[in-house]
Amino acid sequence: MLKDLRELPKTVWPRAVAYGAVTAVLIGIPSDLIDTPIFGRPIEARWLDWVILATTSALIGLIFAIRPPSSAETGTEAAVERQGTTTLWGGLVSFLAVGCPVCNQAVVALVGISGALSWWAPVQPVVGLAAVALLVWTLRKRLRTYRVVACPLPA
């Protein structure tokens, strides 16, 4: 996978940084990792929240930046669309992993505030690792799709 990343065109990297920065803002502001007057966070962020935010933002940036050339005969449009959907799910799972445990209304409604602190908060790092794993898997599929379409085998 690292070899495939090194072989990407140089034009991919500025797009990856831009997409990654937008992703970090879209996840970081509502989860109040990026402090704004709009949202508040009664529970302090853990250092692992920052690591998960940075890692998932970078992966999402790379996935969205790598766009294989479309080709009707290879059928890559459906594969790219599925990868985009998987990427969005990875972003949602990442948001759940870094968000404040008592700010998540669904969790509080299901298990209450004490359940959110005693049950959901310890599970969030595992959810973050699941988000990273999902995004790494999607990146591998995106790189494979890109390699097949951008570098076809000679006939």
Q: Say if 155 falls within a structural domain.
A: no
Q: How far from 120 is each of 69, 97, 107, 142, CA to CA, in Å?
A: 42, 9, 7, 32
- Total structural domains within the chain: 1
Instruction: Specify the 3-state DSSP secondary structure of 119.
Output: helix
Q: Output DSSP code: residue 68.
A: P
Query: Would you say residue 128 lies in a domain?
Result: yes
- Evaluate whether residue 56 is within a structural domain: yes
52-95 pLDDT per residue, tens: 999 999 999 999 998 766 544 455 565 656 667 788 888 888 98
d(CA 65, CA 63): 6
Range of the domain at 137: 2-150
- The tens digit of pLDDT for each residue in 13-52 reads 999 999 999 999 999 998 888 888 888 888 888 999 999 9
pTM here? 0.82
Identify whether the C-beta of residue 57 lies closer than 8 Å to the C-beta of residue 12. Answer: no
**Which DSSP letter does residue 1 get?**
-
Percent composition of the chain: helix, strand, coil (DSSP 3-state, to 5): 70, 0, 30
Asked whether residue 122 is domain-assigned, the answer is yes
The stretches of 66-120 forming alpha helices (DSSP H) are 76-98, 105-115
* Residue 36 is assigned to a structural domain of this protein: yes
Q: How many CB atoms lie within 10 A of CB 60?
A: 27
Q: Could you tell me if residue 13 is inside a domain?
A: yes
pLDDT of residue 150: 53
